[in-house]
Structures are given as structure tokens and as C-alpha cells.
Amino acid sequence: MNQADLDGLYELYATWCVRLGESGKQVIVQIYQPSEYGAARAAGFETIIWTLYRYPGEEADILRELEGMSLFAVTMPRHLALQGLAKRLPVNVYVHTVNTQREWAMFQALGVSGLYTDWLPDPNIEVSDESG
């Protein structure tokens, strides 16, 4: 994250807080590398998600980096959750991309607490557990 990015974060956060008041604190920032954490905190963001999609480190590196961060959650690709990483992390874990209830149940059993999806249910249609 360069100085222009940091300046942009400060400006964005200040604008949100002025317009939204306390609800501006509901803004969730996503970082891609642990080195971006300090800048996000310095910009005033309290709720931060670290996404592992671009992080090149191994599980031991992830656990070490987490010791220095106070995060809302970590987001990971499906293959990391399938390897059992979610249960070994001390924070909420979200996974990309879950589009069926069956998949969601499987990932919950693996320790995943939230998801990203491409699908929104039709509120007029009842969906059963057998819907896939």
C-alpha cells in the first residue's frame, strides 16, 4: 500500500464518518497482505477482514501473522477450508464462493462461520435442505 492509497483510505473513512456518523464504523475493510493492516488501522477502520487469496505464505505464516492483528475475520478460498484451516484459526472464517445449502453445511462442519455467494434466494420460494 503506497502513500496515495493510504491518503485515499483516510479521505474515504472521513467522508463515511461525516455522512454516516457512528454507522460509519460499520464499514468493513478487506486487506490482501498483512503489511496493509497498519495502514487500515491508522485510517481509522476498526473492522478488518484479511483475504488469503493473494497471500503466498503457508499455514504457519498465516498463524504467525494473525498474532499481530485484531481482525473481524479471515476470508479464504475453498481449498484452504477443505484442508481444515478454518478450524485452526482463532478468528471468524469466511469462504468464497458457496452457492448451495449443501456446500454451506459442509463448510460449516469444517469451521467456516460465513460465506460469499453468487446466489440470492427468491423470498417467494421455499428452499428445502434437499435443494442442493
∠103-82-115 over CA atoms, to 5°?
A: 50
Question: What CA–CA distance (Å, rounded) separates 105 from 100?
Answer: 9
Question: What CA–CA distance (Å, rounded) separates 24 from 38?
Answer: 19
Tens digits of residue pLDDT in 64-76 = 999 999 999 999 9
Going by pLDDT thresholds of 50, 70 and 90, the confidence category of residue 6 is low
Residues sharing a CB contact under 8 Å with residue 44, sequence separation 6 or more, in sequence order: 10, 13, 14, 17
Residues in the chain: 132
pLDDT at 27: 77
Domains of the chain: 3-119 (3.20.20.190)
Locus of grid cell 464462493: 97
